[in-house]
């Protein structure tokens, strides 16, 4: 949600921050005077994280290159890099008198090409040490070109082409995110971004409104909200046009010829989401047999099998939603419900106040497109991992496993899974999966502590630290990386600061193997777990209590070999 | 305190959060250690935003104290 801040409000926000809050260092890399942009960054950070504060580090005026190098060596845990045309060639700013005439266009072009390449190299180094948000030029060129202002000159087009090439390379770098120019244009129209008075008087390029909007977008880019995990959709007049129980299975439609294209677009978006690993389910008031037959149509733009569970009945939708949440084992705050009926949305919203309930407006394509953009914002994430493609299938498998486990002896059943575990001890700043797991797992989570990307990279740099990803597969299929152990080892003592296991991997005794792994590390005699009870880590507490440990209070829990399971069911190997 | 004084005081309090309220009316670029060039631009920007006006660059150097800023806006309001 856009938050508009005036400069005075931003200053008051910073002033109102309580003393003693934890502080994060953000390096603001720019070639102009940071001035109000630094102020707005601090303020928007304070709004995003009311219990924290940002110290914004700055570099040298007019020296983007040098400031990038300083930022790379700094102890900042995040960086914002704002590039304007004047940083690439001073003749493209208002404070230089070098000019932009025909005689120098080729030189400007060549100079900018070299500068982009140098900046990209510096950014790669910076992004290896901390998450980086990059802003491509937001201001227009000053008067470059022989054409009238409404016609783009070839030189201008070439400059934009260079910038686009740079952004395409930059967007591929791990830990680096590029601000989307289209989103910035929505919140800060191009015509009102520049403040020539301030640029000439003080070297600060932006209007206050643009600086505030830009800072807000940058904080969102660096610290995005956790993406939603699941989407539950209605069928009639939502997934398709028409009421299947009335018109029949073959008559519901979703194509442009039937004036039902927005339903087709919605199906395409859901298909995209399923490829990203978003869980999809259906909650519909319908005849189950009719709905299932319609979902078997081969011309659906998303196959019916992509949805699990499919809850079709004449009962309240809140009941269907409750059953879906149970099957997924996730909380309503991570789920979006989409329906064309305001009544159904209200009913589900009342039963699950934390769920995001969004209307599908079948009569208004503009509103539907807005919905799709909103869904992109809710579910989008910086990286998609191999595990994301496995998620839906593993949820189905978990349901089968729970069913089978209920009917057999627990030990025999788990051994019969033929599970294989891989403990990957290689520390890699490009592997985002481990941090994602630490920050989104709630139930089997040692202490609920969330770690910023910058802090995680610092942890990996520590020679005594470890960060182990645990991957699992069995005869039901692979789950990918589903667990993390992180902490420090000094001599024979291992201190575990993060221990998480995805709920998809429950009921397989993997947690026992994880303890075995830790105590099996060379020289280790004891493990110290930095435990804290949270509202949601009941399953972890239950496991620790089963080991005879007291989970009543936060603190250090010590384990030795005596606490270990005697017979572990799976094969395990270690990658180093 | 007049409306103009109150609004200028708020801007000063925002830009110089450590300055005690009773010292604001005596604040000047000469007397206040933290009133450097960055603080000066920030202060004048905050004041221009508060009064919804643009300050010509000629005033960047002359508006160097609380008193001068208040007088400037009082003169503007009389001349309207």
How many whole angstroms separate alpha carbon A124 and alpha carbon A175? 9
Contact A337, A354 (CB under 8 A): no
How many whole angstroms separate alpha carbon A502 and alpha carbon A482? 5
Residues A32 and A162 in one domain: yes
Contact A308, A281 (CB under 8 A): yes
Tell whether A393 is covered by a domain. no
Q: What's the confidence (pLDDT) of residue A431?
A: 84
Q: Are B13 and A201 inside 8 Å of each other by CB? A: no
Check whether A565 has a pLDDT greater than 70: no
Of A6, A15, A204, the CB nearest to B49: A6
Q: Nearest CA of chain A to the CA of B15: how many Å?
A: 7
> Quick check: helix, strand or coil at residue A181?
helix
Interface of A with B (CB under 8 A): 6-8, 11-12, 14-15, 33, 35-36, 39, 197-198, 200-202, 204, 208
| Residue of chain A with shortest Cα separation from B61 | A201
Tell whether A391 is covered by a domain. no
Tell whether A388 is covered by a domain. no
Q: Is A248 left (phi over 0), alpha (psi -120 to 50) or beta?
A: left
Tell whether A1 is covered by a domain. no
Residues A354 and A477 in one domain: no
Of A14, A200, A208, the CB nearest to B45: A208
For residue A133, give the CATH number of its domain: 3.40.50.1110
Tell whether A479 is covered by a domain. yes
How many whole angstroms separate alpha carbon A469 and alpha carbon A441? 14
Q: Nearest CA of chain B to the CA of A64: how many Å?
A: 19
Check whether A433 has a pLDDT greater than 80: yes
Distance of CA A271 to the CA centre of its chain: 19
Q: What is the mean pLDDT of residues A396-402?
A: 75
Measure Cα distances from A30 to A86, A111, A291 in Å: 10, 18, 57
Lowest model confidence (mean pLDDT) among A227-236, A427-436, A493-502: A427-436
Tell whether A401 is covered by a domain. no
> What residues of A are in contact with residue B18 (Cβ under 8 Å)?
none
Containing structural domain, residue A73: 7-222
Contact A54, A71 (CB under 8 A): no
Q: Nearest CA of chain B to the CA of A191: how many Å?
A: 18
Percent of chain A with pLDDT over 90: 78
> What residues of A are in contact with residue B37 (Cβ under 8 Å)?
202
Model confidence at A320, pLDDT cuts 50, 70, 90, reads very high
Check whether A277 has a pLDDT greater than 90: yes
Task: Report the candidate in A213, A188, A215 with the shortest Cα–Cα distance to residue A45.
Answer: A215
Measure Cα distances from A568 to A100, A123, A142, A470 in Å: 73, 46, 70, 16
Residues A16 and A126 in one domain: yes
Q: What's the confidence (pLDDT) of residue A412?
A: 74
What is the DSSP code (8-state) at residue A538?
A: H
> What residues of B are in contact with residue A12 (Cβ under 8 Å)?
14
Q: Are B42 and A35 inside 8 Å of each other by CB? A: yes
**Per the structure block, which two tokens stand in for A113?**
């090409």
Q: How many helices (H) and strands (E) does chain A have?
A: 21, 18
Supply the angle between the helices A386-406 and A261-276 in degrees, to the nearest 10: 80
Task: Report the candidate in B14, B15, B13 with the shortest Cα–Cα distance to residue B23.
Answer: B13
Q: What's the confidence (pLDDT) of residue A392?
A: 79
Average pLDDT over chain A reads 92
Of B17, B50, B57, the CB nearest to A8: B50
| Residue of chain B with shortest Cα separation from A34 | B38
Q: Nearest CA of chain B to the CA of A204: how many Å?
A: 10
How many whole angstroms separate alpha carbon A248 and alpha carbon A257? 18
Residues A455 and A569 in one domain: yes
Check whether A1 has a pLDDT greater than 70: no
pLDDT digits (tens, 9 = 90+) for A53-92: 999 999 998 899 999 999 999 999 999 999 999 999 999 9
Check whether A415 has a pLDDT greater than 70: yes
Supply the angle between the helices A365-379 and A261-276 in degrees, to the nearest 10: 0
How many whole angstroms separate alpha carbon A199 and alpha carbon A103? 26
Q: What is the mean pLDDT of residues A154-178?
A: 95
Check whether A18 has a pLDDT greater than 80: yes
Residues shown for chain A: 576
Lowest model confidence (mean pLDDT) among A130-139, A192-201, A324-333, A394-403: A394-403
pTM beyond 0.90: the answer is no
Q: Nearest CA of chain B to the CA of A15: how many Å?
A: 6
Check whether A409 has a pLDDT greater than 90: no
Tell whether A396 is covered by a domain. no
Q: Are A201 and B60 inside 8 Å of each other by CB? A: yes
Residues A341 and A246 in one domain: yes
How many whole angstroms separate alpha carbon A439 and alpha carbon A448? 8
Q: Are B14 and A200 inside 8 Å of each other by CB? A: no
How many Cβ atoms are within 10 Å of A213's Cβ, its own excluded?
Answer: 27
Q: Is the dihedral of CA A137, A141, A144, A145 positive or negative?
A: positive
> Quick check: helix, strand or coil at residue A547?
coil
| Residue of chain A with shortest Cα separation from B58 | A201
SS3 string of A120-150? HHHHHHHHCCCCEEEECCCCCCCCCCCCCCC
For residue A430, give the CATH number of its domain: 3.40.630.30
Please name the residues in contact with A278: beta carbons below 8 A apart, sequence gap of 6 or more: A228, A229, A230, A231, A379
Residues A66 and A188 in one domain: yes
Residues A430 and A326 in one domain: no
How many whole angstroms separate alpha carbon A540 and alpha carbon B61? 64
SS3 string of A323-382? HHHHHHCCCHHHEEEEECCHHHHHHHHHHCCCCEEEECCCCCHHHHHHHHHHHHHHHCCC
How many whole angstroms separate alpha carbon A424 and alpha carbon A573? 9
> What residues of A are in contact with residue B24 (Cβ under 8 Å)?
none
Residues A432 and A569 in one domain: yes
pLDDT digits (tens, 9 = 90+) for A30-58: 999 999 999 999 999 999 999 999 999 99
What CATH architecture is B3-79? Orthogonal Bundle (1.10)
Residue of A43, A202, A204, A211 to mutate, interface with B, max B Cβ within 10 Å: A202
Q: What's the confidence (pLDDT) of residue B54?
A: 84
Listed residues A222, A248, A265: the one ending a domain:
A222
Domain tally, chain A = 3
Residues A133 and A40 in one domain: yes
Q: Are A197 and B46 inside 8 Å of each other by CB? A: no
Residues A534 and A420 in one domain: yes
Residues A120 and A252 in one domain: no
Residues pairing with A444 in the sheet:
A501
Tell whether A389 is covered by a domain. no
pLDDT in tens, chain B (80 residues): 899 999 999 999 999 999 999 999 999 999 998 999 999 999 999 999 999 988 777 777 889 999 999 999 998 876 65
Residue of A8, A19, A39 to mutate, interface with B, max B Cβ within 10 Å: A8
Residue of B8, B46, B51 to mutate, interface with A, max A Cβ within 10 Å: B46
Check whether A420 has a pLDDT greater than 80: yes
Q: What is the mean pLDDT of residues A255-280?
A: 95
Residues A282 and A218 in one domain: no
């Amino acid at each position: 949600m856009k938050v508009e801040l005036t400069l005075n409000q931003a200053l008051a926000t910073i002033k109102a921050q309580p003393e003693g809050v934890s502080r994060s260092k953000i390096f603001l890399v720019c070639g102009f005077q940071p001035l109000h942009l630094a102020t707005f960054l601090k303020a928007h950070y304070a709004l995003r994280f009311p219990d924290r504060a940002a110290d914004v580090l700055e570099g040298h005026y007019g020296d983007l290159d040098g400031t990038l190098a300083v930022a790379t060596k700094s102890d900042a845990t995040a960086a914002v890099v704002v590039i304007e045309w004047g940083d690439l060639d001073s003749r493209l700013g208002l404070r230089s008198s070098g000019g932009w005439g025909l005689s120098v266009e080729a030189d400007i072009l060549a100079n900018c090409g070299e500068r982009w390449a140098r900046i990209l190299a510096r950014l790669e180094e910076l992004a290896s040490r901390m998450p980086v948000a990059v802003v491509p030029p937001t201001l227009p060129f000053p008067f470059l070109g022989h054409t009238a202002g409404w016609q783009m000159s070839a030189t201008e087009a070439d400059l934009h082409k260079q910038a686009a090439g740079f952004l395409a390379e930059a967007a591929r770098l791990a830990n680096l995110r590029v601000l989307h120019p289209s989103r910035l244009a929505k919140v800060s129209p191009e015509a009102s971004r520049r403040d020539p008075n301030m640029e000439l008087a003080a070297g600060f390029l932006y209007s206050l409104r643009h600086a505030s909007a830009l800072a807000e977008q940058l904080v969102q880019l660096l610290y995005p909200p956790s993406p939603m995990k699941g989407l539950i959709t209605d069928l009639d007049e939502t997934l398709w046009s028409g009421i299947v129980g009335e018109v029949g299975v073959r008559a519901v439609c979703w194509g442009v010829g039937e004036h039902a294209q927005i339903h087709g677009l919605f199906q395409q978006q859901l298909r995209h989401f399923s490829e990203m690993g978003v869980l999809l389910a259906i909650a519909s008031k319908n005849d189950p047999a009719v709905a299932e037959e319609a979902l078997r149509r081969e011309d659906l733009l998303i196959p019916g099998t992509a949805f699990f569970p499919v809850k079709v009945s004449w009962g309240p939708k809140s009941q269907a939603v409750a059953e879906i949440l149970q099957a997924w084992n996730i909380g309503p705050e991570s789920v979006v419900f989409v329906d064309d009926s305001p009544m159904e949305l209200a009913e589900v919203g009342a039963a699950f106040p934390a769920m995001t309930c969004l209307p599908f407006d079948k009569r208004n394509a503009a509103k539907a497109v807005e919905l799709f953009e909103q869904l992109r914002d809710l579910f989008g994430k910086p990286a998609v991992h191999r595990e994301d493609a496995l998620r839906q299938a593993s949820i189905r498998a978990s349901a089968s496993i729970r069913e089978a486990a209920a009917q057999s002896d627990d030990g025999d059943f788990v051994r019969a899974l033929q599970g294989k575990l891989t403990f990957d001890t290689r520390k890699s700043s490009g592997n985002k999966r481990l941090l994602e797991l630490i920050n989104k797992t709630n139930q089997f989570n040692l202490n609920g502590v969330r770690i910023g990307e910058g802090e995680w990279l610092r942890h990996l740099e520590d020679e005594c630290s470890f960060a182990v990803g645990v991957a699992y597969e069995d005869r039901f299929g692979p789950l990918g990386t589903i667990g993390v152990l992180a902490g420090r080892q000094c001599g024979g003592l291992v201190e575990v600061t993060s221990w998480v296991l995805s709920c998809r991997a429950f009921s397989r005794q993997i947690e026992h193997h994880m303890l075995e792994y830790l105590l099996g590390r060379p020289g280790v005699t004891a493990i110290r777990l930095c435990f804290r009870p949270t509202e949601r880590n009941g399953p972890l507490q239950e496991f620790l209590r089963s080991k005879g440990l007291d989970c009543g209070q936060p603190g250090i829990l010590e384990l030795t070999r005596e606490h270990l399971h005697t017979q572990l069911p799976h094969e395990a190997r270690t990658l180093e | 305190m007049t409306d103009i004084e109150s609004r200028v005081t708020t801007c000063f309090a925002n830009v110089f959060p450590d300055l005690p309220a009773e010292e604001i009316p005596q604040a000047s670029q000469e007397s206040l250690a933290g009133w450097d060039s960055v603080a000066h631009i920030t202060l004048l920007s905050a004041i221009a935003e508060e009064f919804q006006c643009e300050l010509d660059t000629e005033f960047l150097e002359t508006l160097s104290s609380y008193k001068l800023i208040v007088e400037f806006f009082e003169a503007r309001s009389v001349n309207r």
